[in-house]
Structure 1
Amino acid sequence: MKNLLKNKLFLILFANDLLSNFGDVLYYLALMSYVLQLPDAKVAIALVSVSESLPILTGFVMGHVADRTLDKLGKIFHTLLFRVGLYSLVGIVMGFQPALWVVMVAAAINFFSDLAGQYENGLYIPLSLRIVADEDREASYSFKQAVGFVTAIGFQSLGAVFVSVMSYQALAFVNAGTFLLSAGILFLIKSPIQALLSAKPILVQDKQEGENLARNLWRSMKEAVEACLSIPELRQSIVLTPLLNGLFNILSILIAVIISQDKQFVLINPATTLAAISVAQLLGGILGSVLGMNALKSVSIGAILRSATLLVPFLFLCLYQHWLYGLFFLVFLALVLAAAVNPKMNALILNSLPEEKLALISGGIGTYFQLGSLVLRLIVSGLILFLPVEGVSLVFGLVGVCMIIYAYKGRKSS
C-alpha cells in the first residue's frame, strides 16, 4: 500500500478517473430525472435501458481494436475529446422542450460514449501494467475499489443537489467539462508515461495477411470462455455470474418505473431516491471491499456467489410490495458480496492473459459475464410496456428461486 501512495502517476490517473466518474453520476441522475417528467416515461426508460445494454455486446470488439492500436496514449486523449463533443451535443438538445426525441438523441449519444469508454479502458490496460508493479497490482484494485465507493457516496449526494438546482442542459455541459479537464490532466502527465513506454514498449499483435475480422473476433471470444473454463473458481461461476449480473442490473429499471407510478415510493423526490439507492450500493461496496481483504479473503468465489443467489427472491419481493426500505437493505447486502468477489475475479483473470491480447480476451470475458444483463434488460424493457411492474417482479422473483435450487444442487453434486 505504501508503494501505491508514493506512485504519483497511479494516484493522478486514478483521480482523473474519479473526475469523469463524477460527470457520469451527474449525467445519469439528470437523464433519469428528465425521463421521469415525460408523459410516456415507460417508453423513455426502455430507450435509455436499451442504450445502456447494447454496449455489453461490444466489449471484446473494442478490446480487439484497442489491442491493435499502436499509439495507445494518444488515442486515450482522443477518446476523451470525442466524449466532450458528445455531451456538448446533449447539452444543446437539452435546451429544447422536454420530448421523447430528446431522450432518443441522449440515448444514442450514451451508446457511443460507452463504446468510446470501452475502447479507452482497453487502451489503458497495458499502460497500467507499467505504471503499477506486479506485486502491487492486487492492492491497487482493492484501493481503487474502496476509494471509488467512498468518493461515489459524495458524488451521489452532490449530484442529487445539482440536479435539484441546475438545469438538465447545464448538467450535460458540466459532464462534458469533466472529460475536457481529464484530457487536460492527461496532457500534463504525458511525458512521464511516455518514458515508461519507451523503457518497456507495449507488445502489439501483428495483423495477419488476409485476416477475417469476424472469424478473429469469434476465435477470441472462444479463447475468453476457454480462459474462464481453465480456472476452477471461474468455471464454478460460468452460469451464476451472468444471471446475477442481469438480475441486479434490471433493478434500476423497475425502480424507475415504480417511482413514475407510485409517488409514495420516493425519498423527498425521484432524484434523491435514485441517489439513496446508489448510496446503499456504495456503502455495501465499501464494507465488501474491507471484508474482502480480511474476513472474506479465504472464502471462495463460488461460496460468495451462492450466498448472493439467496438475496434475489427477496429483492424482487420488495419491489412487488413497493417496500423501499427493505430494498435499500437488500441492495446493501448484495453489494457487500459483489465487492468482496470482484477483486478475486479480477486477479484471477488478469494473471492468466497474454499482454498482446489482454484487452480483447478480458473484454470477451467481461462481455460473457454481462450477457445476462443485456438479455434481461432487453426483456424487461419489453415487459414493462405490457405488464404491471408487480407482475414483472413476480416473474424474476421465481427466477431467483430457480437459481438458488441450481446453485445449491450443483454444490451437492460437485
Structure 2
Amino acid sequence: MIVFAKNKNFRQLLINQWISGFGDIVFYLALMNYVSAYSFAPLAVLLISLSETLPQLIQVFTGVAADFQKNRIHKYLLIQFSKVLLYSLVTFLLLGQDFSFLTLLVICLINFLSDSLSYFSGAMLTPVYVKVIEQDMTSAMGFRQASMSLVHILGNLAGGFLIAWMSIGALAGLNALTFLIAYLGFWHISKNLQELEPELGNAKKLNRENYWQHLLNSLKVLLGLKNVVRLLLVSTFGQVTLNILTPVATLLLLKRPFWNLQIGQSIAVLIVLSSAGLILGNILSGSLLKKLSTKLAMYSSQVCESFILCGFFWQNFLLVLIASFACSVTVGLLSPRLQKSVFSLIPEESMGAIQSAINLFSMAVPSVLSMLLIALASSMGIIYILLPLVLMLALSFYLIIPMENLKTDSDSC
C-alpha cells in the first residue's frame, strides 16, 4: 500500500490495469450471457473461450518478439490506442446490425488479436516496469496481485448486475471506454517512463533464425536459475492443490454435508476463504512478513497442504477449510517472491521471453494436472487422488531442502 501511495508511475500503471481489467471481465460475462440465447450457443462458448485461451498459450512466442523491440513506450501507446479502436469496432458491430454467427467470429478474432497484443505489449514493457518498482519489488508485486484479485471479484459482481440493465452493445462500449481511459492514463506518465527506458532490444534484427536462437537462449537462462526453477515447481504443485479444492470438496460434501449448510453455501465459504488467503498473502509478502524467509514460507506451505490431504482422507470439511485458508496465504506469499527472484536474476534483454515462459508454465501445468486429478476423483473416488498428491508433496520437500538463499526485499532466506 505504501509503494502505491508513494510511487506515481506504479500507481498509474496499476490503476490502468484495474480499469481495463474491469472492462474486460464485464464484457466477457456479457458476451457469454448474450450468446446463450442463440442456437449456436455451444459453439459460441467454445470460440469465445479459445479467443481468451490461445493468446495465453502463444505468449512465449510473443514474448520473444517483445525482447527485440526498441522505442517501447511509443509502441506501447500505439498498441493501447489500437485496442480502443478494436473494441470500438466491436461496439459498432453489436449496435449496428443483427447478431449472427459471422458477427461472433469477427468479435472472437478481434478479442484474440487484442489479447495477443496485450501479452506482447506487457512483455515488451516488463524491463521498464521492473525499473519503476525495483526499490520495493516484492511489496509492489504483492499489492498488484492482491488488488487485481479484488478487481476480478468486483468485476464479476458488477458484470452480473450490469448485464441485467445494459445492452450488449452498451457494455461493449463500456469496455472500449475503459481501454481509452487506460490509454490516457499511460500517456500521462509516458514521458516519465521514457526516462527509465534503457537501450533495450536485441542488437540483432528480428528474423526467423535470431527468433528461435533467442528463445532457446532464454530458456537456457531460465533453466540455469535452479533456485527459481525449484520455487516455480513448488508453487505449481501448490496451485494444483488449490485448483482441485472446489470440485473435490464438492464430492466430499455429497457424502458429508458441513453443519446445516447447503453444498453451494459450503463451497462459497471455501472459495471466499481461499481468495481472502491469496490476497492476504500477496499483501503480507512484502510488508509485515517481509523478513520471513522464503524457504520457511515454502515449508509452511507444504505443511498446510498436508493438512488439506488429511482433511480429504478423514472427510473433514472443517479441516479442509482451515488448511485451505492457511495454504492460500502461503501461496500468496510465494508468488510475488518468485517474480522478484526472476526479475533480479535474468538479463533485461531476455525478460519478455522468460516471463512469458513462466506465465505459460504456471497456467498450463497446474491446469492439466488438476483436470487429471479431478477426473480421477470423480470416476473412482477422493481416496485415489491422495497418492499422487502425496507424491507431489514429497517432491516439493525434496526440492526445497537443497535450496539456497533467494533474493527478496529483505535479502533473507
TM range (shorter): 0.7 to 0.9
Counterparts in 2 of 1:390 and 1:126: CA distance versus 1, 3 Å: closer
Quickly say closer, same or farther: Cα 1:350–1:205, change in 2 above 3 A: same
Q: Deviations over 1:208-245 (max 9, x none)?
A: 697604532541453254145x21x6326437717946
Q: Which moved more, 1:135-144 or 1:154-163?
A: 154-163
The number of equivalent residue pairs is: 376
Q: Which piece of structure 1 moves more, 15-24 or 155-164?
A: 155-164
Matching residue within 356, 360, 365 for 1:372: 365
1:165 maps to what in 2? Answer: 165
Residue 410 of structure 2 corresponds to none
Give per-residue Cα distances to partners, 1:135-193, cap 9 Å, x unaligned. 32222112223333344443333232212211122111111111112112222332233
Where in structure 2 are there 5+ consecutive unaligned residues? 251-261, 402-413
Alpha-carbon deviation of 1:287?
A: 2.4
Inter-CA distance 402–33: structure 2 relative to 1 (3 Å threshold): farther
- What does residue range 7-406 of structure 1 map to in structure 2 within 5 Å? 7-39=7-39, 41-95=41-95, 101-132=102-133, 134-197=134-197, 201-207=198-204, 212-213=209-210, 215-220=212-217, 222-223=219-220, 225-228=222-225, 230-231=226-227, 234-235=229-230, 237-238=232-233, 241=236, 244=239, 248=243, 282-292=275-285, 293-294=287-288, 297-298=292-293, 299-301=296-298, 303-304=300-301, 307=304, 335-372=328-365, 393-394=378-379, 400-406=385-391
Offset of residue 309 of structure 1: 8.2
Determine the C-alpha separation between the residues in 1 that align with 2:310 and 2:99.
Answer: 37
Q: What's the offset of the Cα at 1:70? A: 0.7
Higher mean C-alpha displacement, 59-68 vs 152-161:
152-161
Change (3 A) 1:363 1:114: same
Q: Distance in 1 between matches of 2:350 and 2:306?
A: 33
- Secondary structure of the residue that 1:89 maps to in structure 2? helix
Letter in 1 for 2:209: N
Change (3 A) 1:218 1:302: farther
2:358 alignment partner AA: I
What one-letter code is carried by the residue in structure 2 that aligns with 1:190? Answer: S
Structure 2 counterpart SS, 1:205: coil
CA shift, 1:116, in A, is 0.8
Tell me the SS of whatever aligns to 2:345. coil
Q: Which moved more, 1:136-145 or 1:72-81?
A: 136-145
Instruction: Indicate how the Cα distance of structure 1 residues 170 and 142 shifts in structure 2: closer, same or farther if over 3 A, else same.
Output: same
CA 1:203 to 1:358, structure 2 compared with 1: closer, same or farther past 3 Å?
Answer: same
> Partners of 1:342 and 1:372 in 2: how far apart?
16
CA RMSD in angstroms comes to: 4.4
Identify unmatched segments of 5+ residues in structure 1: 256-263, 268-274, 381-388
Give the letter aligned to residue 120 of structure 1.
Answer: S
Distance in 2, matches of 1:311 and 1:100, equals: 45
